[in-house]
Chain A
C-alpha cells in the first residue's frame, strides 16, 4: 500500500508535466478564439489584452492550454464553473479563491491568491478565457461589470 501512495504524486506530476508539453500546439490551434473575434472587434481587442494578462499571471498554474493540473489547479478549458458561474469566476480573479470548488464534477481545494489586477484587466482576461480552448461566450464582459462584483 505504501509504495502506491508514494508513487501517486509522481504520477500526478508526470501527467501535469505532459499536458504542459502539449501546450504550444494548443495555443496555436485556438479555433474558438478565431471564431469569436471574427464577429466582434471590441472582443478581439479585449481578448488580445487578456491573452497578455493570461500569459503573465495565469499560465503558470492553469497552463498554456487552459487544462490546469489534475487534482491541483482546475481547468478553464471547457470548465462548467467558468462558463456557468460568471460572477463567481470574476470574483475569484478579483479577490482570490480558497476552499473547495467543484469543476467538471471534480472537487478542488486549493488557494489562488488575489492577483492585484485592475477591473479592465479582469474583464480582458475573462473575455480571453471564456473564448478560448473550446469555450465560447457571446456576452462581452466589461470593466463596469467587474466593478460591480463585491468580495
Chain B
C-alpha cells in the first residue's frame, strides 16, 4: 500500500516536472488603450511617416489605417493562406521617405511543386494600391505543410535586409543543409541582390542569401538599438523556444541540439550543446510560443529602457524581458490574458504598440 502511494507520488511529481509551468510574475503597473479594433490576426504592422499604419492581416489583407479609417490596399500578390502561412510581416525601407519602398513577406505558391513557401517582395504604395511589385526572394521547394514559414523582416543600420524562413515542418532535411531553404536567417541587399560578404558565397550549391542556419521557426526579429546586432527568437518544439543574436555563418543547432522535446512528449535528442553550434542567449521551457519582438529604446517607459518585449501566443501576454549586461535576468507578464500576442513594434512616438489576435492593436501605457 505504501509502495502504491509512493508510486503515485513519484508519478505526480514527474508529471509536474514534465509540465513545468510558466512562472513569470504578472506586472500590473501598466494599462493599455485600443488603437485599432476589430482585427483578426495582425501578423505584422508598421508606421508611415504621416503617423498612419500599414497592417497585415494574416489571411491576406493589407490595411492602411489612417485617421480612424481602414482602407484595404489593392494589388497584393497571390497569397497562400494555409495553416501558419499567409500575409506575414511588413517593414519600411530605412530611407522610405526618399525611395518609398515597402517590404512584405508572405506564403506563395509560385514555382514548382504543390503547396507554398515563404517569399519576400517590395513595392510602393500609390492610390491605395501596391505598385512596382518586385519579388526579391522565394524559397523552394513548395510544400503543403502548414508549418513554420518564419517571415520576420528587419533592416540593420547598414541597410542590409534580414529575414527569417522557418523549416516548413521538415526538420530532418532543411535546417542543417545550406543548399536547402528553410530554417535559416537570410541577408540580402535592399534590391534583392546578394551582399558580397555573405558567409556562404563560395560554398558549393549553397543558397547564397543564407546568413545563419540551424533555426526552427523564427517569428521575432529586431535590431538592438545600441549594438546594432540582429536579435531573433524562434519557436522550439515542446519547450526550447530561444532568443539568439545572429552572427554571420553560424549554426544555431536545430534539431541537433535543443532544449525542447517532441510535441507528443518523446525526445528529439539528448544534446543541448555541441561544439560549433551556438547556445541561445535565453530559452523558454515550457514554450511561450513567441511572436513579435521589439526593444524599448524610448523614454516613455521609466525603468524599462533597453528592455526587450516578446509576444506570447500560447500564454497570451507580452513578455517584458529585463536585459542586464546583454542577458535576460528577469521576465514579467504585461497585458496578461488580453489575447494571443502576435506582433510588437515601438512607434515613431516612442510608445509600444502590440498586435493581438481577435482584438486589434493596443498601445502600452505605463502607469507610474
Contacts and interface: CB of A to CB of B under 8 A. Distances in A.
A-B interaction: yes
Interface of A: 6, 9-10, 13-14, 17-18, 20-21, 23-24, 27, 56-57, 59-60, 64, 98, 111, 113-117
A27 B264 contact: yes
Interface residues of B, number: 28
Interface string B81-92: 111010000000
B264 A113 contact: no
Contacts of B145: 56
Nearest to A6: B26
Nearest to B41: A113
B81 A114 contact: yes
A21 B82 contact: no
Nearest to B12: A18
A117 B82 contact: yes
A57 B146 contact: yes
**Interface SS of chain A:** helix
A65 to B, nearest CB: 10
Interface of B: 15, 18-19, 21-22, 26, 40-41, 58-59, 80-83, 85, 145-147, 169, 263-266, 286, 315, 337, 357-358
Contacts of B22: 13
Given A56-B169, A115-B146, A23 B81 contact: no
A116 B19 contact: no
Contacts, number: 56
Contacts of A56: 83, 145-147, 169
A23 B147 contact: no
Contacts of A9: 337
A123 to B, nearest CB: 15
Given A10-B21, A57-B146, A111-B358, A116 B83 contact: yes
Contacts of A116: 80-83, 85, 146
Given A113-B41, A115-B146, A21 B265 contact: yes
B21 A21 contact: no
Contact of A21 (B18, B146, B169): B18
Nearest to A117: B82
A27 B121 CA distance: 42
